Amino acid sequence: MALIVQKYGGSSLADAERIRSVARRIVDTRLAGNDVVVVVSAMGDTTDDLIALAHRLCDHPDERELDVLLSTGEMVSSTLLAMALKQLGQEAISLSGAQAGISTDAAHSRARITRIDPARIKSELGRGRIVIVAGFQGITDGMDVTTLGRGGSDTTAVALAASLGAKVCERYTDVDGVYTADPRLVPEARRLPEISYEEMLELAGYGARIMHPRAVEIGQVYNVPIMVASSFNDSPGTLIHGGVEMEIRNKVSGIAHDLEVAKITIVGVPDRPGIAAGVFEPLARAGVSVDTIVQNASLDHITDLSFTVARGDLEKAMEVSCAVAGEIGARSVVSDARVGKVSIIGTGMLNTPGYAARMFRALSDAGINIELISTSEIRITCIIEEGRVPDAVRAIHRAFELEREA
Amino acid sequence: MALIVQKYGGSSLADAERIRSVARRIVDTRLAGNDVVVVVSAMGDTTDDLIALAHRLCDHPDERELDVLLSTGEMVSSTLLAMALKQLGQEAISLSGAQAGISTDAAHSRARITRIDPARIKSELGRGRIVIVAGFQGITDGMDVTTLGRGGSDTTAVALAASLGAKVCERYTDVDGVYTADPRLVPEARRLPEISYEEMLELAGYGARIMHPRAVEIGQVYNVPIMVASSFNDSPGTLIHGGVEMEIRNKVSGIAHDLEVAKITIVGVPDRPGIAAGVFEPLARAGVSVDTIVQNASLDHITDLSFTVARGDLEKAMEVSCAVAGEIGARSVVSDARVGKVSIIGTGMLNTPGYAARMFRALSDAGINIELISTSEIRITCIIEEGRVPDAVRAIHRAFELEREA
C-alpha cells in the first residue's frame, strides 16, 4: 500500500460544495488502495479576512497573536474536510500542526520547520484513517503556535511527504500544471508533463504562483516527487521530480516572466575588492531582496553596477543605494521602475550553444531592446521594458516552438 | 496585588468596536493595580455559524471534529482581544485552553474539566502580562481538543479563578446583574446587590441565562465569589457568594419562572416501594431530565405521580412513561404541554412560616390555579397554566414587595 500526500489550496476548499468535491477525490485515491495524508489551506479568502479583522483592532498586530489567529483558518477547513469524508463513509481525522508533530523555530509569521515527529500521523494511518493536517502551521518547543509564512501549506505538504516517505506529494490547486509559458500571455502554451526541481525553481514568479519555491526546494533535497494538478478537472498535471535531466537535457522547458520589477544602476563605481559586498550587505540588512545582478566590464577601474528588486522595494532600495553610493564614491544612482523580466529555462541548456543567441534574435526581431542580461546554468534572463514583456514571451515561445510536443 | 478573573461573553465581543471597549475595561482593572486573567467566548454568533457550516457538510458532524472547529471561535476572539490590549499599550498574551493547562476528559462536546495546571498562566502573569484564555475548551491527555458544552466559558472562568486563587471572578455580559424577577416581565424588578450560590442555582432558568449552573456550582464548591455585571455600562452588578446567608436569611430574594415546561401525570400508580425508581430510571436512560416531581397522598395504595420535563423532551418522555405505566400496572398517562413554572427563592425561607401561604394567596387573588406544588429548603415552586406565568410573576413580586430595598 503506497502513501500519498495530497495538498488542497484555498480556492479548492472555498465552500461546502467544493469541500465535498475534494472529499470525493480523496476517497477515490483511498479506494485505489493508498494510504492518504491530506494537507489543507484555509478556505477561500479566510486568511485575508482574518488579517483585515486584526488590522481593524491595531496598526501592527502582534506576530504571535496573529499566528494563532491565522492558524484557525486551516483548523476550520481541516475539520470540515474530515466531516465531509466521514459523510462519505470514510474514517478520517483532522490534526493541527502541533498534533501532526510539526515543530518550528519561534520566528512568528515566517517560522521554519525544525523537525517532524510523524508518530501520531502513522498511528492514525495504522488505524485505517485518512489524516487531514492543517497546513501552514506548527508549534514551538514552548508550545506556541507559529505559521510558516508564504508558501506555508505547500511546505507542510512536501515536508510531511518527505518525513513519511510518501510515494508522491500531489498538490491540487486551480491551475492544472506547469505550462511552457503563462497561458494568460501565450494561449498556445503547452502543459509540461514533467519538469525538474531546478527548472521549477528557475521559473521564479510564474512557477511560484503554482508551487512555492520553498516547498520545491524541500522536494529537491529529500527527492519527493511533486505532482501539480487541478482539483477542478482530471487533467494529469505536471510532475516535478529529479529524474528528468537525462531526457530533457538541452531542451528549453518554459518561459518565465515577471512584471513587478524595478532596476537600479549605481553609476561610476570604483572597481575594487569588497565593493559588491559594500553595496549588497546594507540592502540585505534593510530587508531588500536583490534579484538579477549585473556588473559591467570595468573601464579605468570604474564600473556600473545594476540590479533588480521587487517593485515594492524600490523606494527603500534607492534610499540605501544612494547612501552607499555616497560612501563608496560612486557617481550617481538611477532607477527605472517600469522594467520586466523574461527568462528561458531548461536543464543543462548552457552546455549547448545557440540558446542565448536564439532568444536574443527573437527579441530583436520583435523590436524589443534588452537592458540587462543574466544567466545561470539552466536559465537565461533578459530585463526589458515592462510594456513589451507579453510580446517578448510570445516571440520567444514561437522561436523555440514550445507549442509543439517535445 | 490582587488577581481578578474576568469573563466576557460573545455579545460583548461581537465586533471590533466592542472588543476595543472590553479592552479599555480590562486596562482600567489592570491600572487599578490588579493582575488580570480574562476568559473569552467566541465573537457574537460565531459558534452558531460554525455549527451551520458543519451541518452543510454532513448530517451528524463528528463530535471530535466539531470540537476542534468550534474551539477556533474562542481562539479568534482571544487573539483579537490581546491585540487590542497591546494597541492600548498593555502587555498581553492569548492562550488556548491547552496552553492554559485545562485538561478534560474525552467526552467531546460536553467535556468535564479534570484538572488545571496554571503554571503557564502564572509565568505570564509574573512577566507582567494580562492573560487572555480561550474559554469553552480544553485538551485531553491524548492531546485532542475538547469543548465543555453548555456554560463552557463560564465554567472555564470560575474554574480558573478557583485554581489561581483569584479574589473574584467577574462575569460580564449584556445583563447587568440578577434581578428579583425577570425585568422583561416585571419592569419594577430590582437588581440584587448580592445573592448566595444556592439561591442562584434555584433561580434555574432565569438564573441560568445569566450564569450557567455548572459554573455556579464550581464557585460554590471552591468558594469563588462571582460578580455578574454588564460590559455595556458601569452598573455595579450582583455578587454571587457564600457569605450572605446570615444577612439575607428569611428573605425572598427573587422570583424565577420557566415557560418551556410540560407536565406528565401517571394516574393510578400502585403505591409500593421501588415504583419511583421504576419510573425515573428509564427516563434517565432515555436522556430525559426530570424536573419537579410530586407524588400525591396514597388512597387505597393507589397514587398519582406527576412530574415536569423540558417541553422539547415531552414526546420522548411520554413514550417512556407509557411503556413504564404498562409494566407497573398504572391506569393511564396524561400530559399537558402548556404549563409554566413560578418559584420564589430565598435562603432558609422554609424555617420561617408564612412564605408559602403568601405566595399561594397572591396567585389565588390573581385568579391563577395551582396545578402542582413543590418545595425545597430555599424554594417554593408552583406549576400553573403557561399563559398566566407573567401575571403570576408580577402578582408575587408585588405581594413580597420585592421592588423595595431590603
pLDDT tens per residue, range A2-32: 999 999 999 999 999 999 999 999 999 999 9
Q: If you classify domain B255-399 with CATH, what class do you get?
A: alpha beta
Residue among A65, A82, A143 minimizing CB distance to B79: A65
For A15, nearest residue in chain B (alpha carbons):
B53
Asked if residue A73 lies in contact with residue A111, where contact means CB atoms within 8 angstroms, the answer is no
A131 touches chain B (CB under 8 A): no
Given this model, what pLDDT does residue A270 score?
85
The CA–CA distances, whole Å, from A237 to A34, B229, B246, B303 equal 19, 60, 79, 78
Tell me whether residues B56 and A16 touch, CB distance under 8 A: yes
Given this model, what pLDDT does residue B244 score?
62
The pLDDT confidence band at residue A350, using thresholds 50, 70 and 90, is low
Reply yes or no on whether the pLDDT at A347 is more than 70. yes
CB pairs under 8 A between A and B: 103
Tell me whether residues B143 and A84 touch, CB distance under 8 A: no
* Helix (H) or strand (E) segment spanning residue A18: helix A16-31
Reply yes or no on whether the pLDDT at A198 is more than 70. yes
B44 touches chain A (CB under 8 A): no
Residue among A72, A87, A93 minimizing CB distance to B76: A72
Helix (H) and strand (E) counts in chain A: 13, 18
The pLDDT confidence band at residue B350, using thresholds 50, 70 and 90, is low
Residue A210: what residue type?
I
pLDDT tens per residue, range B209-258: 788 889 999 999 999 999 999 988 888 899 999 876 544 444 788 899 98
A94 touches chain B (CB under 8 A): yes
DSSP assignments along A204-264, one per residue: HHHHHHHS-HHHHHHHHHHT--EEEEESSS----EEEESTTHHHHTT---EEEEEEEEEEE
Tell me whether residues A79 and B69 touch, CB distance under 8 A: yes
Higher pLDDT, B353 or A359: A359
Provide, as residue numbers in chain B, all residues whose Cβ is less than 8 Å from the Cβ of A53.
16, 76, 80
Given this model, what pLDDT does residue B115 score?
95
B38 touches chain A (CB under 8 A): no
Q: How far is B54 from chain A (nearest CA, A)?
A: 6
Given this model, what pLDDT does residue B36 score?
98
For B84, nearest residue in chain A (alpha carbons):
A57
Given this model, what pLDDT does residue A348 score?
61
A301 touches chain B (CB under 8 A): no
Reply yes or no on whether the pLDDT at A110 is more than 60. yes
From A92-96, A334-338, B270-274, the region with the lowest mean pLDDT: B270-274
CA atoms of A152 and A110, how far apart (whole Å) = 8
Residue among B62, B75, B87 minimizing CB distance to A68: B75
Tell me whether residues A83 and B19 touch, CB distance under 8 A: no
For B89, nearest residue in chain A (alpha carbons):
A58
Residue among A65, A68, A87 minimizing CB distance to B57: A87
User: If you average pLDDT over residues A47-52, what whole number do you get?
Assistant: 93
Q: How far is CA B214 from the centre of its chain?
A: 6
B98 touches chain A (CB under 8 A): yes
CA atoms of B256 and B195, how far apart (whole Å) = 14
The pLDDT confidence band at residue A346, using thresholds 50, 70 and 90, is confident
Given this model, what pLDDT does residue A105 score?
95
Given this model, what pLDDT does residue A380 score?
85
Reply yes or no on whether the pLDDT at B406 is more than 80. no
B78 touches chain A (CB under 8 A): yes
Residue among B19, B61, B93 minimizing CB distance to A83: B61
Given this model, what pLDDT does residue B348 score?
62
Given this model, what pLDDT does residue B351 score?
59
Give CATH superfamily name and number for A3-174: Acetylglutamate kinase-like (3.40.1160.10)
Residue A15: what residue type?
D
SS3 A66: helix
Reply yes or no on whether the pLDDT at A65 is more than 80. yes
For A98, nearest residue in chain B (alpha carbons):
B143
The sign one gets for the Cα dihedral B36, B42, B45, B46 is: positive
For B98, nearest residue in chain A (alpha carbons):
A143
User: If you average pLDDT over residues A172-192, what whole number do you get?
Assistant: 89
Given this model, what pLDDT does residue B52 score?
93
SS3 A147: strand
B94 touches chain A (CB under 8 A): yes
Spatial CA neighbour of A265 closest among A205, A340, A317: A317
From B202-206, B212-216, B394-398, the region with the lowest mean pLDDT: B202-206
- The strand pairing partners of B184, in sequence order, are none
Percent of chain B with pLDDT over 70: 95
Provide, as residue numbers in chain B, all residues whose Cβ is less than 8 Å from the Cβ of A26.
none
Q: How far is A3 from chain B (nearest CA, A)?
A: 23
B143 touches chain A (CB under 8 A): yes
Given this model, what pLDDT does residue B298 score?
66
The pLDDT confidence band at residue B278, using thresholds 50, 70 and 90, is confident
Tell me whether residues A69 and B79 touch, CB distance under 8 A: yes
Asked if residue B355 lies in contact with residue B255, where contact means CB atoms within 8 angstroms, the answer is no
Residue B324: what residue type?
V
C-alpha cell at B51: 455549527
Given this model, what pLDDT does residue B275 score?
78
Given this model, what pLDDT does residue A352 score?
65
User: If you average pLDDT over residues B138-151, what whole number do you get?
Assistant: 93
For A61, nearest residue in chain B (alpha carbons):
B83
Tell me whether residues A65 and B84 touch, CB distance under 8 A: no
Given this model, what pLDDT does residue B201 score?
86
Tell me whether residues B83 and A58 touch, CB distance under 8 A: yes
Provide, as residue numbers in chain B, all residues whose Cβ is less than 8 Å from the Cβ of A83.
54, 57-58, 61-62, 65-66
Residue intervals in chain B for CATH 3.40.1160.10: 3-174
Tell me whether residues B50 and A99 touch, CB distance under 8 A: no
pTM for the model stands at: 0.79
Tell me whether residues B80 and A57 touch, CB distance under 8 A: yes
User: If you average pLDDT over residues A262-288, what whole number do you get?
Assistant: 85
* Helix (H) or strand (E) segment spanning residue A335: strand A332-345
Tell me whether residues B83 and A66 touch, CB distance under 8 A: yes
Given this model, what pLDDT does residue B119 score?
96
Given this model, what pLDDT does residue B277 score?
79
A69 touches chain B (CB under 8 A): yes
Provide, as residue numbers in chain A, all residues whose Cβ is less than 8 Å from the Cβ of B84.
57-58
Higher pLDDT, B352 or A108: A108
Provide, as residue numbers in chain A, all residues whose Cβ is less than 8 Å from the Cβ of B146.
none
Tell me whether residues A79 and B98 touch, CB distance under 8 A: no
The pLDDT confidence band at residue A351, using thresholds 50, 70 and 90, is low
pLDDT tens per residue, range A91-106: 999 999 999 999 999 9
The CA–CA distances, whole Å, from B200 to B34, B226, B230, B238, B380 equal 27, 11, 17, 11, 14
Tell me whether residues A58 and B84 touch, CB distance under 8 A: yes
Tell me whether residues B64 and A93 touch, CB distance under 8 A: yes
From A174-188, A217-231, B86-100, the region with the lowest mean pLDDT: A174-188
The pLDDT confidence band at residue A274, using thresholds 50, 70 and 90, is confident
Provide, as residue numbers in chain A, all residues whose Cβ is less than 8 Å from the Cβ of B93.
64-65
The residue whose grid cell reads 420585592 is: B402
Higher pLDDT, A377 or A86: A86
CA atoms of B236 and B219, how far apart (whole Å) = 19
A87 touches chain B (CB under 8 A): yes
Higher pLDDT, B206 or A215: A215
